[in-house]
Structure formats: C-alpha cells, structure tokens
Amino acid sequence: MRTSLFSASNAGSNVERLLRLIIKRATPISSDLALEEARRNILAKRPQWTTSFEKTVTELEQVRSISFPLPVELDEKDAPYFAQLSAAAAITL
C-alpha cells in the first residue's frame, strides 16, 4: 500500500474511496517504514494532504518493519516491504 497511502491522502480521490471501502471490509496493514515514507513524501509534495493522511493512519494496523532472506530478488529498498507483507500473511500487495 506504499503508493496508495500517498494517493489515498487526497480526500475525495478514487484511491481514497477505494481505501475507505477496504477499511469497511478488512483491517489494512502498513509498516512503520511505509508510513514514514508516505508521510515524508506528503510533507514534501502535497502538505495540504497531511490532515487526511494522519486520519487514514489511525485506521490502519501499523506493524514494525522487519527484514529476512527472501526467496525472490528485489531492489534493496523494496525488500523490507515484501518481508513485512510476507510475515503478516498479507493476501494483497
């Protein structure tokens, strides 16, 4: 949900509406690493979305980032996200 968190912070956008639908049906998770990256990007690129982002964060389950050897090759920056989703038995990326 790394990219989606940024887009979902745009109140009224299609991605924000999709995330609201997901929240009604399940508990989305995000890692502390993904949340920090989204927060940093929002502050740098769309500071007016900060309030919406912070509200959205309260509706997610936040998990700590982890890292372990993976059975696939990924960019170094993407590996912690995949490892966290794998450890949480996520059904979608």
Please list the residues that pair with 7 across neighbouring strands: none
User: pTM of the full predicted structure?
Assistant: 0.72
Provide the 8-state DSSP code for 60.
Answer: S
What is the secondary structure of 35-70 as a DSSP string? HHHHHHHHHHH-GGGHHHHHHHHTTSEEE-------
Task: Tell me which of 25-34, 51-60, 69-78 is least confident.
Answer: 69-78
Give Cβ neighbours of residue 84 (< 8 Å, ≥ 6 apart).
Answer: 31, 33, 63, 65, 66
Residue pair 31/38 in contact by the 8 Å Cβ criterion: no
Q: What are the pLDDT digits (tens) for 22-51?
A: 899 988 888 888 899 899 999 999 999 999
Distance CA 16, CA 29 (A): 15
